[in-house]
Amino acid sequence: MIKSPLKHLTLEEFLALPESDITYELVDGEAIPKFKNDEMSPKFSYSSTTGALFILLSAWAQGKGRVVIEWAIKLTCDRQDWVPVPDLTYVSYNRLAVDWFADEACPVIPELAIEIISPGQTFGEMTEKATNYLKAGVSRVWVVDTRAKTITIFYPDAPPQTKRGEDSLEDLLFEKLQITPQAIFQQAGIP
């Protein structure tokens, strides 16, 4: 873990940390590894689902916005700086201009954060993280469970909904997005 036990990191100190092979998130002033042990390191289902979501969402997002894998986001949750690294992020060109380019953490609140449950993580942990995304202003959060082959959608103003099989992931926020969990898991090669 990158952290001095005597002080909490500021947002600027966290963003200035040297690059490493480990992905860190800023949580309560601490640099916390996204994958905390070997049990949580990405496996086939996680990686192939990430790829499938990227392919399907990128095709839909043409001309609308960006879909990015593991892009840190500068957020504030409960009045503290928070820099999560969702598995995928969608941010529209309305929020971040098409001509924007800087090699840095996402400077705006995205419309969508997607978290894929890794081995060693629980749905409860991801629910807590989804709640924090919503508190920070993210419009939608998808929690993907590759074992159950479900996608639970978290909303700021309604209870979560779990989608499976041929259930549509249509959403007024994502105009003309017409994909299903089944299509995602088929693309990922998950039987």
- Give the orientation angle of helix 181-188 with respect to helix 44-61, to 10 degrees: 120
Spacing of C-alpha 78 from chain mean position: 19
| pTM of the complete model | 0.83
Which residue from 50, 48, 94 is spatially nearest to 71, judged by alpha carbons? 50
- pLDDT by residue for the chain (191 residues), tens only, comes to 444 444 687 767 777 777 776 667 667 777 766 666 555 556 788 889 999 999 999 999 999 999 999 999 999 988 888 889 999 999 999 999 999 999 999 999 999 999 999 877 889 999 999 999 999 999 999 999 999 999 999 999 999 999 999 999 999 999 999 999 999 999 999 98
Phi, psi of 153, rounded to the nearest 5 degrees: -100, 125
Phi, psi of 83, rounded to the nearest 5 degrees: -125, 85
Can you tell me the distance from the alpha carbon of 137 to that of 84, in angstroms, rounded to the nearest whole number? Answer: 13
